[in-house]
Amino acid sequence: MQHPTKSTLKNTSKIILAVCIISLAACNHSAKKTVANSIMTDTTKPLLPSKTGFEKTIDGKKTHLYLLKNKNGAEAAITNYGGHLLALLVPDKNGKLTDVVLGFDDIDGYKKAMSSYYGATIGRYGNRIAKGHFILDGRRYDLFINNKPNTLHGGSKGFNDVVWDASQANDQSITMTYLSKDGEEGYPGNLNVKVTYELTDDNSIKISYEATTDKNTIINLTNHSYFNLNGVGSGTILDHTLQLRAANYTPIDSTSIPTGEIAPVAGTPFDFTQPATIGSRINNTDTQLKNGSGYDHNFVLDKHDISTPIATATGDESGIVLEVFTDEPGIQFYSGNFMSGTNTFLNGKTDDQRTGFCLETQHFPDSPNHPKFPSTELKPGETYKTVTIYKFSVKK
Ligand code: BGC
Q: Which fold has domain 51-394?
A: Beta-galactosidase; Chain A, domain 5 (2.70.98)
Assign 9 a pLDDT band (cuts: 50, 70, 90). very low
Distance between Cα 197 and ligand 1 center (Å): 22
The yes-or-no verdict on residue 35 having pLDDT over 60 is no
Nearest CA to ligand 1 atom 11: 116
Global pTM value: 0.89
**Residue 112 CA to chain centroid, in angstroms?**
16
Percent of the chain with pLDDT over 90: 87
Residues with catalytic annotation?
224, 360
Assign 23 a pLDDT band (cuts: 50, 70, 90). very low
171-181 confidence digits (pLDDT tens): 999 999 999 99
Distance between Cα 139 and ligand 1 center (Å): 28
Beta-sheet pairing, 296-300 with 311-314: unpaired
Q: Where are the domains of the chain?
A: 51-394
Q: pLDDT value at position 22?
A: 39
Distance between Cα 101 and ligand 1 center (Å): 16
Q: How far is CA 226 from CA 63, 118, 316, 334, 339, in A?
A: 22, 6, 16, 9, 10
Rounded to 5 degrees, φ, ψ at 111 are -65, -45
Measured from CB, residues less than 6 Å from any atom of ligand 1 are 115-117, 127, 256, 296, 332, 334, 338, 360
Collapse the DSSP code of 280 into the 3-class scheme (helix H, G, I; strand E, B; otherwise coil) and give the result. Answer: coil
CA dihedral sign, ordered 150, 356, 225, 250 = positive
Summarize the confidence of residues 221-228 as an average pLDDT: 99
Assign 44 a pLDDT band (cuts: 50, 70, 90). confident
Work out the mean pLDDT of the chain and round it to a whole number: 91
The yes-or-no verdict on residue 146 having pLDDT over 70 is yes
Q: pLDDT value at position 2?
A: 35
Q: pLDDT value at position 14?
A: 44
